[in-house]
Chain A
Amino acid sequence: MSNRDNILNRLKQNTLSEPVKIESNVSSFVWSKDEKITQLTKCITAVHGEVHHLTNIHWIDWLNQELPKRGLKQVLIGRNKVTDEYTYKADKSVTIHHYDKPIDSWKDKLFNQIDVGLTTTVGAIAKTGSLILWPDAAEPRLLSLVPPVHIALLDANTIFDTFEQAIEELEWAKNTPSNALLISGPSKTADIEQTLAYGIHGPKELIVLIIDK
């Protein structure tokens, strides 16, 4: 018999009585859009992230104002309808790179030359201050991870109250993305004396632009 069968047979020897599982109550929170934005902003800023609620400025204009000020020049984006517009509207101090080739041939550039990874998001979770990303062919997995700054665009109408609610409304289990992420701040560690330090392996900065028109 195989290892597999041996293990499963042992597990089948003790059948426990029908257990009861307490299911999640999805509707326990009902926040308005503004409340959700406030809560999300509170959580992300508490862990050193930046949140900007853009109501009367286009996100591209915001980037064109801010990136030169911060000395951020090399911006990596995916192949995505939303971010494509930036390709021809970006400030002239910024060079746009596209993540459109398999990583194997240009890993060195990704790891060493890019300043900013710009991504969209599937949504966010207000309660924990988490962005939901489902990386795919258009916006690959490492785009939000390797560059030292991650800028995420978030549509104000896609913020959920809780993770439970996001799972249900996005029909997450049925759609199962190849890779899904909750990102709730810049990379950090407290492994030395329980003292927080940011930017250990992933982005040192997380900037969330909430687009709300």
Chain B
Amino acid sequence: MNQTEAFYQRIEKALQNDQVRQNIRSAMNGLMQKRAEQFNDPEELSELREKARSIRHYSLAKQAELLEKLEQKLIENGIQVHWAETAQQANNIISTILKDAGAKTIVKGKSMVSEEIGLNDYLEQQQIEVLESDLGEFIIQLAKEPPSHIVAPAIHKNRQQIAKLFHHFFPELSYSEDVNELTLMARKILREKFEKADAGVSGVNFAVAETGTLCLVENEGNGRLSTTSPDLHIAITGIEKVVEKLSDIPGLLNMLTKSATGQTITTYFNMISRPRQPDEKDGPRAVHLVLLDNGRSRIRFDNDLLETLRCIRCGSCMNHCPVYVHVGGHAYGTTYPGPIGTVLEPQLAGINNIGALTSACSLCGACAEVCPVKIPLPKLINQLRAEAVNEHFSDKPVLGKGSLRKTPEVIAWSIWQKIYSNPFLYKTFSWFATSLNFLTPSKLGKWSKYRTVPKPAKKSLNQLAQENGFDYE
């Protein structure tokens, strides 16, 4: 099965699951509404977005310099820095650090980059116990499913499904479908793990070069626990997360929390700059940061596509995406779903692997309208569509360019082009199309599986215009 067929099969499956669609629909409605309440002044919103865009763009423009500065500062602060070009390297680095420390059990804060590299599976193969501690991540880890949303990973499940899951894994706890009770159960189960874990793994929302600070945004406190309670903390992040100054943070933080969950600010904003100091009583004795490239530096090479890297992973584009809302995150089959996934994943994994995602977009533009850092997502999706079928390879550094080019499509379009660029052919064609419209087939292969085939009208627009007295040109 090719990637397109596989993708359409996942969509088909998703569309048949009414329960999941309902769960996602109602969650997205809530998130959209809460975001809108935070941004009730359009003028202020447009200023805030422009500011956030400029901060992220500046950081990308100075990226190499800032990463060097970040590294230098972190080392000064006592945090060890590692660089990984690929997912494999990142996994290796992390498992080596854990093994050297003799760590057998780890608790994790939510990290999409760790999902991207498949860290959990990798560590479990090495007999290291990994426990997700964010409630949503914990739920889907029990269900053995990937996240379906980058901010709310278990959004596709409802409370009954979660209650059953908890009951299955923890039969000693009494069954409940009450959200508060379920939350308390998770607290109880996870507390002990936090207390005993040998190491904590987390992501990073922003890394500040000026001060060597790793910033984490969260509501639950599991991120703080994972990064503070065990003796060893390993953070992993994409190389694009660096910003220049501490004063860049408020503008981004504000846009992140408001866009993501409609919160003025999250419960915790945790800024880590040093491991436990000699006189301190707690905190990890060793802190490591793994900087992951995994294709990001290639994206940065192109001035259009590099806009992708401004993303602060708020998830707002998927909350507002009509395609995402219908098919959900799993249908994409990638770590990052929704509009940002559609743009990012084919660039990371190659169009030859996952370029079919770009077809799941109606170019409605809702995502670009809400993106807090003004990424022109539909424009980028369109560019990737062009790259996917490009014959004359462009200088864009996209993997698998031209791999979705199909001969019948190429022939059809070149005939179309001939007809439309030649007045005589065009006239002949429109005469045939209108006079012989009864010959229009009612089925056009797969295309008409979900669509009605359009029938040409009896008279062309041209004819109608002439009859109504327009000059013919």
Contacts and interface: CB of A to CB of B under 8 A. Distances in A.
12 contacts: A10-B297, A16-B60, A19-B61, A20-B58, A129-B265, A141-B282, A145-B228, A176-B211, A178-B280, A184-B265, A192-B157, A198-B183
A200 B281 contact: no
A213 B400 CA distance: 68
Query: Which applies to chain A's interface (DSSP): helix, strand, loop or mixed?
Result: loop
A201 B187 contact: yes
Given A21-B58, A22-B51, A188 B267 contact: yes
Interface string A1-43: 0111011101111101111111110000000000000000001
Nearest to B195: A111
Interface string B238-253: 0100001111111101
Interface of B: 23, 26-27, 30-31, 50-51, 54-55, 57-58, 60-64, 67-68, 71, 77, 83-85, 89, 133-136, 139, 152-155, 157-159, 162, 179-180, 182-184, 186-187, 190-192, 194-195, 210-213, 219-222, 224-225, 228-229, 231, 239, 244-251, 253-254, 261, 264-277, 279-283, 291, 293, 297-298, 300-303, 306
Instruction: Return the 10 tightest CB-CB contacts between A and B, nearest first.
Output: A202-B221, A191-B136, A178-B274, A197-B183, A10-B297, A182-B269, A201-B221, A21-B58, A11-B64, A16-B61
B54 A14 contact: no
Contacts of A68: none
B133 A193 contact: no
Contacts of A177: 271, 273
A92 B42 CA distance: 56
B264 A181 contact: no
B51 A179 contact: no
A32 B153 CA distance: 42
Contact of B246 (A7, A19, A173, A183): A173
A50 B149 CA distance: 32
B398 to A, nearest CB: 15
A129 B281 CA distance: 28
Given A21-B54, A172-B246, A100 B281 contact: yes
A179 B274 contact: yes
A11 B67 contact: yes
Contacts of B210: 173
Interface of A: 2-4, 6-8, 10-14, 16-24, 43, 47, 99-104, 107-108, 111, 127-130, 135-137, 140-142, 145-146, 162-164, 167-168, 172-173, 176-195, 197-203
B309 to A, nearest CB: 11
Given A137-B279, A178-B280, A197-B180, A128 B264 contact: yes
B9 to A, nearest CB: 28
Contact of A167 (B58, B184, B247): B247
Given A22-B55, A194-B30, A140 B135 contact: no
Contacts of A176: 77, 211-213, 273
